[in-house]
Structure 1
Amino acid sequence: MPWRWLIPILVLVAGPAAGQAPEPTPVPTVVFPFELADTSGEAASPGRDARIALATGQLARKLEQSGRYRAVDLAPLAAKVAATSPRYNCGGCWLDVARESGADLAVLPAVHKISTLISTMDIWVADLRSGQYVAHVQGQIRGDTDTAWLRGVDFLVDERLLRRPPP
């Protein structure tokens, strides 16, 4: 009978994806550069600016690779971004720049260096429509090196931020 051939065709067309939720669309997200609040009283460590750029790049890549976020380029707004520093203590002065970027979310990372051995890394995620923070993750890193900062970013994104429901 001809209908016997119809069942295998329907199975192939519907396949295992039938009934599964569609992949979420990545949310346009602006990732501000890491900021450093250094209260250690120590001399600036060699490569500090490069370390900040390296950690910021790693954060943006990991968020984008998760599929939840689509990085929005802040380069065209570099002067305005610089004028918002320090974002961790400016009362939301970064909001207008983030909104101007066309993003829906903003990621604001910061490191508080207490000593060469102890720093605290924070990552805040803000909804730009409401201006409210929708996520905050924090952890301590040991050492003021590229490796320590990158491990901090990896841990906070993989083990804390991405384990939360998407904002």
Structure 2
Amino acid sequence: MRGFIAALTSIAMMSAASAEGLRHGAKVAFLGLGFVDMSTEGAYNGVRADETERLALVERLVEQRFLDEGLMLVDLAPIENKLANIANPGQCYGCDIRFGQTLGADYAVAGSVHKISNLIVSMNLSVKDVRTGEILRAMAVDVRSNTDTSWRRGMTYILKNGVFRD
């Protein structure tokens, strides 16, 4: 019962937070997307060049959408060395908020792509208020297939329905 109540509370909080839009002209620290390969193929063969390129493609898509929506991306140069040591900025125990504060950003944005197999890829993205640490927008989707098109569609869905929904 406690779990059910916690889930309802979490949903209510997300709904309340997401009712307010992201401020036009606000500063965004987009820390990138982590890639977590949980597949058997990854365990045997290691990093694939096409997936590395695909991750960069999806990161550019996220950056462009924030710019198109009238938000400003802050320069990550002051935290570049620290960020390079973070494998997954989407799950770094509050580093996103700390980095956002260091950079003078209003929002910290980070996410991850989890490759379960060549058939199943899970993606997520969250937007947090740097001042309060509150999650303002967040969404996760699973896509079927490991292609540029499926990754682009998955992240476009998150941006349209999770981050920049009306």
Q: Taking every aligned residue pair, what percent have the same amino acid on both sides? A: 30
Q: Is the CA contact 1:109–1:122 (under 8 Å) kept in the aligned structure 2?
A: yes
Provide the C-alpha distance between the structure 1 equivalents of 2:27 and 2:95, rounded to a whole number of angstroms: 20
Contact 1:30–1:103 (CA under 8 A) maintained in structure 2: yes
- Write the letter of the residue equivalent to 1:38: D
Q: What is residue 103 of structure 2 aligned with on the other side?
A: 101
Distance 1:142 1:75, change over 3 A: farther
What's the CA shift for 1:76? 4.2
Residue 136 of structure 1 deviates from its aligned partner by 0.9
Q: If each structure's helix is expressed as a fraction of its own residues, which one has the higher value? A: 2
Alpha-carbon distance in structure 1 between the residues aligned to 2:79 and 2:163? 26
Q: Say which of 79, 82, 90 aligns to 2:81.
A: 79
TM-score normalized by the length of structure 2: 0.75
**Aligned partners of 1:28 and 1:104 also within 8 Å:** yes
Report the 3-state secondary structure (helix = DSSP H, G, I; strand = E; otherwise coil) of the residue aligned with 2:101.
helix
Contact 2:105 2:130 in 1 (8 A): yes
Higher Cα radius of gyration: 1
Q: Give the length in aligned residue pairs.
A: 140
TM-score normalised by length of structure 1: 0.75
RMSD: 1.8
1:119–1:141 contact (8 Å) kept in structure 2: yes
Q: How does 1:1-167 map to 2 (within 5 A)?
A: 25-43=24-42, 44-67=47-70, 69-164=71-166
In structure 2, stretches of 5+ residues that fail to align are 1-22
